[in-house]
A and B are shown apart, each in its own frame.
Chain A
Amino acid sequence: MILPALPVLFPLITIIFLLINFQRREWQPWIGLTGSLLQLILAVFILIRVRYEGILVLHTGNWQAPFGITLVVDAFSSIMILLAGIIAVSISIYSFEAIDRQRQSFFYFPMVHGLLMGVNGAFVTGDIFNLYVWFEVMLMASFVLITLGGEKKQLRGAIKYVTLNLVSSLFFLAGIGLLYGKTGTLNMADLALKLSVANNNILINSSAVLFFVAFSIKSAVFPFFFWLPASYHTPPVAITALFAGLLTKVGVYAMIRFYTLFFVQDKLFWHPLFLWIGGFTMVVGVLTAASQYDIRKILSFHIISQIGYMIMGLGIFTVAGIAGAIFYMAHNIIAKTNTFLVAGLINRATGSYDLKSIGGLYKVRPWLAILFIIPAFGLAGIPPLSGFFGKLILISAGFNAGEYVISFIALAVGLFTLFSMVKIWNEAFWKARPENSGPSEGENEKLPVSMVLPVVFLGLLTLTMGFAVRPILDFAMDASLQLLNPGPYIEAVLGSDYLSH
């Protein structure tokens, strides 16, 4: 059985084809698109298999579980792989026109697929050191993508991005080292087993804190978020959209995986901490966003505030809470990427990201306004769009668990998100165009179909998630139940023989 390894192998094969045909520049986007489409089909197939057959396990190299590297796909992983596939396809289509020839000829497409390989690898692996390796694969590709083109502001942003992410990798590696020293295993299921019988929680917490800091930096939560708004607005918008959709979410994924599977001993310390951190992340992100006037900066700060909701779901730590976090993550990956893609369209139409120098778009391009309003109001949580249900599930889970403070914060933050989105709406679409801004280049041109298509596709997904909440939420509930009841996961990985010893 090779299925769990395929999400990693598909991007690898795509990279090989891209490199072999590197001289044929006009083929590059098509090869990239084909690779992404196959990846999406594969992801759907895996999701169905996991839904009907349960957890998929692959012991690579025929080395049995606690010794070799095990690849595991459970419901949570399969959801994340599907989301990665959706984003891969959208970005591949968008890149046809949005990425200039210069960048395309400097390994843009191989790097995008390298990033996808790292992201998928992080989702399928069942081994903490292997997870570290996939994080590095992902980061290497993202370092190249963020500096691709070598503009001055890109390099300035990249220095912060690279430094902070290296620091985070260092914490991650130190955490792995400490944990390996204490338990003698790197396999996640084996760790869960060993830590569930460990009697010295204080010793475990030292590594848990290192992992917490590492993943907090990666996913940009409250005290460690400052690298994100400093770097995300610098590369071309297709790259930013890819990062916004996937990179921070991999950090959240790892955090949810670690703190539901094996760092569950010290609930009294960790869960209130997650709630506090989640609350601060939401509030700080949304307030700083309110003072910005660059569309990409507003959206970057909103990434942070949205991460807060997911951490809040983890802190509530009930089935509904985790399911809410997963649903919210799915909603956010799609809607967030989409808002960045729309920002790229606005830039194409007006030549600027600065809200002060653009305006009157509604008159010129009314349908662009509709394309913007779907993901933006989705993020703000207006019914019947997906964000409304994400917030509803999380907040009702919060009230049911008796966490009133965080639930009220989440409600209030929703209002501020609406404020920011309405601000973009007012400034870019509603108000008259500023007098002093001359006519821009792309004024009367039609926007390229390849840039509009992914926006429509993601917009439809946001709508679908709003209208078909029930089946999606059911699946998120399944994933959440699997996470909170790790017995079947451990047994699937280690086998019942090993457990009976």
Chain B
Amino acid sequence: MRSQLLQMAASRLLPVTMILSLLVFYRGHNDPGGGFIGGLMAAAGFVFYALAFDTREAEKKLRVSPLMLIASGLSIAFISTLPALFAGNPFFTGEWVSISLPFSAKLKPGTPMLFDFGVYLTVWGIMLTVIFNIMEE
């Protein structure tokens, strides 16, 4: 069953969900949100897309395979533990850098955020792998 309306809605909603999921991911460290919820939301966008079109179209839209998302998510999460070792701290210690932006704003990215981004990608990839597999059957 192909619905023109659903397809239009899905293709418009996909970028919105992606941006929203990134926002939720970013506010994660200090406010409710984070990599897990962000990853779920990102997956929800693509699942909706796959419902409106089909899984092959959604995979084409995704460009990389969900498996690669999992692999890169795990790698990023692992890499995020390394800066602590180079700084001479125990394994997994959070390391932060401070970047000054114009208008006296400050950005403080750190390894916990990198780790969380790994979680984001892993959850996104796993949800898509599982749901696409079920939908194809």
A413 proximal to B (CB < 8 A): no
B47: Cβ under 8 A from any A Cβ: no
The complex places the Cα of A9 from the Cα of B85 at a distance, in Å, of 14
- CB-CB contacts below 8 Å: B51-98 with A: 67-68, 70-71, 74-75, 78, 84-85, 89-94
Is B94 a contact of A2 with CB atoms below 8 Å? Answer: no
The distance from the CB of A106 to the nearest CB of chain B, in whole angstroms, is: 10
- A213 to chain B minimum Cβ distance, whole angstroms, is 31
Whether a CB of chain B sits under 8 angstroms from the CB of A452 is no
Which B residues touch A2, using CB under 8 A? 85, 90-91
Given contacts A16-B71, A19-B71, A22-B67, is CB(A5)–CB(B78) below 8 Å?
no
Q: Is the CB of B90 within 8 A of A1?
A: yes
What is the CB-to-nearest-CB distance from B76 to chain A, in angstroms, rounded to a whole number?
10
Residues of B within 8 A of A13 (CB): 78
Q: Are B67 and A61 in contact (CB under 8 A)?
A: no
Whether A19 pairs with B74 at a CB distance below 8 angstroms is yes
Docked CA distance A13–B91 (Å): 16
Query: Are A62 and B93 within 8 A (Cβ)?
Result: yes
B13 to chain A, nearest CB (A): 29
**In the complex, what residue of chain B is closest to A4 when comparing beta carbons?**
B91
Are A12 and B91 neighbours in the complex by a CB distance under 8 Å? no
Point out the residues of chain A lying under 8 angstroms from B90, CB to CB.
1-2, 58-62
Chain A window 48-64, contacts with chain B (Cβ cutoff 8 Å), 1 for yes, 0 for no:
00000000001111100
> A12 and B74 in contact (CB under 8 A), knowing A2-B85, A19-B67, A22-B67?
yes
CB distance from A121 to the nearest CB of B (A): 14
Given contacts A9-B78, A12-B78, A13-B78, is CB(A19)–CB(B70) below 8 Å?
Answer: yes
- Is A468 at the interface (CB under 8 A from chain B)? no
Q: Is A424 close to B, CB under 8 A?
A: no
Q: Which residues of B contact A61 (CB under 8 A)?
A: 90-94
Q: A2-B85, A19-B67, A22-B67 are in contact. Are A60 and B75 (CB under 8 A)?
A: no
In the docked arrangement, what's the CA distance between A20 and B74, Å?
10
If A1-B90, A60-B90 touch, whether A16 touches B85 (CB-CB below 8 Å) is: no
Is A15 a contact of B74 with CB atoms below 8 Å? yes
Output the least CB separation between A431 and chain B (Å): 47
B85 → chain A, closest Cβ, in Å? Answer: 6
Instruction: Say yes or no: A16 contacts B74, CB within 8 Å.
Output: yes
A62 to B78, CA, bound (A): 17
The distance in angstroms between the C-alpha atoms of A222 and B91, with both chains bound, is: 41
A62 vs B95: C-alpha distance in the bound complex, in angstroms? Answer: 11
Q: Which residues on A sit within 8 Å (CB–CB) of B68?
A: 19-20
Task: Point out the residues of chain A lying under 8 angstroms from B93, CB to CB.
Answer: 61-62
Which residues of A in the span 42-77 have a Cβ within 8 Å of any Cβ on B? 58-62
Contact residues in A for B92 (Cβ distance below 8 Å): 5, 60-62
Expressed in whole angstroms, the minimum distance between the Cβ of A381 and any Cβ of chain B is 43
Residues on B with C-beta less than 8 A from A9 are: 78
The answer to whether A5 and B91 touch across the interface, beta carbons within 8 angstroms, is yes
Closest chain-B Cβ to A21's Cβ sits at a distance in Å of 9
How far does the alpha carbon of A2 sit from the alpha carbon of B85 in the complex, in Å? 8
> Quick one: which of A5, A58, A62 has the most chain B CB within 10 A?
A62
How far apart are A14's CB and chain B's nearest CB, in angstroms? 11
Bound-state Cα–Cα, A5 to B125, Å: 26
CB-CB nearest in chain B for A60: B92
Alpha-carbon separation in the docked complex, A20 to B75 (Å)? 10
**Shortest CB distance A72–B (Å):** 13
A62 touches B74 (CB 8 A): no
| CB nearest neighbor in B for A9 | B78
A20 / chain B contacts, CB cutoff of 8 Å: 68, 71, 75
CA distance A269 to B85 in the complex (A): 47
Using Cβ atoms and an 8 Å threshold, which residues of chain A touch B94?
61
Complex: chain A residue closest to B75, CB-CB: A16
User: Min CB distance, B92 to chain A, in Å?
Assistant: 4
If A5-B91, A61-B90, A61-B93 are given as contacts, then 12 extra A-B residue pairs at C-beta distance below 8 Å, sorted by A number, are A5-B92, A9-B78, A13-B78, A16-B78, A20-B68, A22-B67, A59-B90, A61-B91, A61-B92, A62-B84, A62-B89, A62-B92
Residues of B at under 8 Å CB distance from A? 67-68, 70-71, 74-75, 78, 84-85, 89-94
A residues lining the B interface (CB < 8 Å): 1-2, 5, 9, 12-13, 15-16, 19-20, 22, 58-62
Between-chain CB contacts (< 8 Å), 8 pairs: A1-B90, A2-B91, A9-B78, A15-B74, A20-B68, A20-B71, A22-B71, A60-B92
